[in-house]
Amino acid sequence: MRTIASYHHKGGVGKTTSAVALAANAASAGQRTLLWDLDPQGSATRLVGVDRGLDDGVSGLLATEQGLVAHAVATGRERLEVVPADLSLRALDRWFEDGGQAGHHRLRGAVERAADRFDLLVIDCQPAVSAASAAVLRVTDLVAVPLTAGPLAWSAFADLDAELELMIPDERPPVLAFLTMVDRRKGLHRDLVDDSEPLDGFSRVTIPTDSRVERMALVAEPLRAVTSGRAGGAYRELWREVEQLLSAAAQR
């Protein structure tokens, strides 16, 4: 099973939307996909049409023999299941800090036990520099990093790069950054998109601003917003690029 983490230190950059879009596209492409909502806000859970969890404790989820599989809930989309967020995730940092290396081993074990049932795990991380995020990065095959054109998002991206540099090279996952909420009517956005020499680790795919995505939490079938229209087409391209990167990494 391959693992993708949708992660950015800053909120409001399209992290959750991107996690949901990648998961939905992977499922449509035939991958048995599990979306793990690790953000206590539970936005990814709601966007796939599932109620929040029952606050039964993240330690129980990570410690049980079945782990993620026992907590997976079917969505309205074939081959897509979700581990819903609940408010116990607010204590996730403390759980990893108190558990030390044992906590990291339990996380890795929970992910590995899900491999018999799923082909892909997509994790919607908390938007924070935290012990939990650091632990997730160590079990991830690829970090998908959405970026808006604002300077604060790019500053936080530089912080993420510095965080990854501190990791042991063998544990350091590759990064794929991509622009989101692009509005070509704005000069700064055009300049970023039209740069003919993108930086290493950046996708050429850009996700345009789309009113359907902005309203997706209000409609009966929210997943249609990230699988159709302008943004949906861009997310399909992004998924194809992600799939190629994961396949290439598996062959090395």
pLDDT band at 104 (very low <50, low <70, confident <90, very high): confident
Query: One-letter amino acid identity for 18?
Result: S
Mean pLDDT is lowest, of 19-23, 141-145, 184-188, for: 184-188
Q: Averaged over 63-81, what is the pLDDT? A: 85
Chain mean pLDDT for the chain: 84
For residue 66, what pLDDT is reported? Answer: 64
Give the residue with greater pLDDT, 109 vs 29: 29
Residue 32: in which H helix or E strand, if any?
none
C-alpha 58/C-alpha 181 separation (Å) is 32
Instruction: State whether the Cα torsion 18-23-27-29 is positive or negative.
Output: positive
Cα–Cα distance list, 109 to 43, 86, 125, 199, 221 (Å): 26, 21, 18, 35, 34
For residue 56, what pLDDT is reported? Answer: 61
Cα angle at 192 between 186 and 195, to 5 degrees?
130
Give the residue with greater pLDDT, 91 vs 184: 91
Least Cα distance to 40 among 123, 107, 126 occurs for: 126
Q: Does domain 2-251 have CATH number 3.30.565.10?
A: no
pTM here is 0.90
Residues 6+ apart with CB under 8 A from 58: 88, 89, 91, 92, 95
For residue 122, what pLDDT is reported? Answer: 98
What percent of the chain has a predicted confidence (pLDDT) above 90?
Answer: 36
pLDDT at 251 over 80: no
Q: Averaged over 43-70, what is the pLDDT? A: 76
pLDDT band at 229 (very low <50, low <70, confident <90, very high): confident
The gap from C-alpha 103 to its chain's centroid, in whole angstroms, comes to 21
For residue 148, what pLDDT is reported? Answer: 84
For residue 63, what pLDDT is reported? Answer: 65
pLDDT band at 96 (very low <50, low <70, confident <90, very high): confident
32 close to 75: Cβ distance less than 8 angstroms: no
pLDDT at 125 over 70: yes
pLDDT in tens, 171-208: 788 899 998 888 777 666 667 667 655 566 788 888 99
Query: Which backbone phi and psi does 209 adopt, to 5 degrees?
Result: -65, 140
For residue 252, what pLDDT is reported? Answer: 61
How crowded is residue 166: how many other Cβ atoms within 10 Å of its Cβ?
8
pLDDT at 213 over 60: yes
